Amino acid sequence: MSAEPGAGTLAAVLAGERRALARAMSAVENETAAGRALLGELQPHLGRARVLGVTGPPGAGKSTLVNALIGAWLARGASVGVVAVDPSSPFSGGAILGDRIRMGEHQAHERVFIRSLASRGHGGGLSRTAARVVDLLDAAGYDQIIVETVGAGQSEVEVAEIADTRMVVCPPGLGDEVQALKAGILEIADILVVNKADLPQAERTERELLAMLSLRHYDGWTPQVVRTVATRGEGVAELADLVARHGAACASQRRSHGGRVRRLIAASAADWLKRRIENLDGAEFEQLCTLVQRGELDYASADLRAAELALRAGKNA
């Protein structure tokens, strides 16, 4: 967005220099050449931070809970980085980035860094570059990093790949919606939070979640259910303890885990190829589309040829 990171940027980011870090985030978010180069240099400096992913349906209280967690971690002497993703309009591409206003209590604190990202058309509950913005916070020395997804439904499970601990926030009384969530984001949860637990349906929601969990089998960590009232801070200290316990119990399952790296590379490579193909122009691609429209070429063959064209275009770019 502003000053392209150049020489000295890596050192400034590692030193936690706030402005350099913010500008590096813009370069990474906008996928500039300098941003890519910086990420390469960053690689040996990653892996110290603990990353908590927070997801759940819109209005569950994710941002308010994040605000309360920031407070709990600050009180324990930790520094906290937050990446908050809000949806971009599919029509205008614009976005209102409003998560951080609910984190206002701590946003001015010296040991807090909050960055809002627009999803920019990326599915999965995050933006395409959110994981790399997390890397920057990690390299800058933030102890705890929180990634908050857009208000998520069933399949916004990408946060599971980039967080060490996955938290799903459920408001009480969703009833049927909790049922609907079962096959989706509830499955990725290490910790389930029934927020707004002062509402009358909270107990029932907690029971339903526990009943659901009791039907599944787990190796190692069994997902826990916690009740919170984020606006009043109730249950938040317990929640912070639980996050720490999960981190210690699942140290071998962290975000740098081999299987996750494999899936992240596959996802971002597929995304890269998709964008290349969408942006293909020229006679060859037009001809390919025409052949498919006329029924003279099957989709599977066309897929392969489109991928080849895109790879060739990528080399020339």
The least CB distance from residue 286 to another protein, in Å, is 27
Contact 309, 285 (CB under 8 A): yes
Interface stretch with another protein, choices 21-29, 68-76, 167-175, 207-215 (CB under 8 A):
21-29
Considering only 8, 15, 19, 266, the residue that binds another protein (CB under 8 A) is: 19
The least CB distance from residue 190 to another protein, in Å, is 28
Q: Which is nearer to another protein, 150 or 243 (CB)?
A: 150
Contact 194, 228 (CB under 8 A): yes
Torsions phi, psi for 182 (to 5 deg): -50, -50
The least CB distance from residue 4 to another protein, in Å, is 6
Instruction: Assess 36 for contact with another protein (CB under 8 A).
Output: no
Cα separations in angstroms, 16 against 11, 260, 287: 9, 27, 52
Give the DSSP per-residue string, 148-201.
EPSS--SS--THHHH-SEEEEEE-TT-THHHHHHTTTGGGG-SEEEE-STTSTT
Residue 278 DSSP one-character state: H
The least CB distance from residue 83 to another protein, in Å, is 11
The least CB distance from residue 20 to another protein, in Å, is 10
Tokens standing for residue 19: 């402005």
Length reported for the chain: 317
Interface stretch with another protein, choices 24-32, 175-183, 226-234, 278-286 (CB under 8 A):
24-32
Per DSSP, the three-state class of 291 is helix
**Per-position x/- string for 176-215, each x denoting binding to another protein as judged by CB under 8 A, each - no binding:** ----------------------------------------
Q: Which is nearer to another protein, 133 or 194 (CB)?
A: 133
Residues 158, 160, 163: CA angle, nearest 5 degrees: 115
The least CB distance from residue 113 to another protein, in Å, is 6
The least CB distance from residue 78 to another protein, in Å, is 18
Site for another protein in 77-136 (CB under 8 A): 88-89, 92-98, 100-101, 104, 107-108, 113-116, 118
Chain centroid to Cα 283, Å, comes to: 38
Tokens standing for residue 163: 């967080």
Contact 50, 143 (CB under 8 A): yes
Q: Which is nearer to another protein, 43 or 89 (CB)?
A: 89
Q: Under the rule (CB under 8 A), what is the footprint of another protein?
A: 1-4, 18-19, 22-23, 25-26, 29-30, 88-89, 92-98, 100-101, 104, 107-108, 113-116, 118
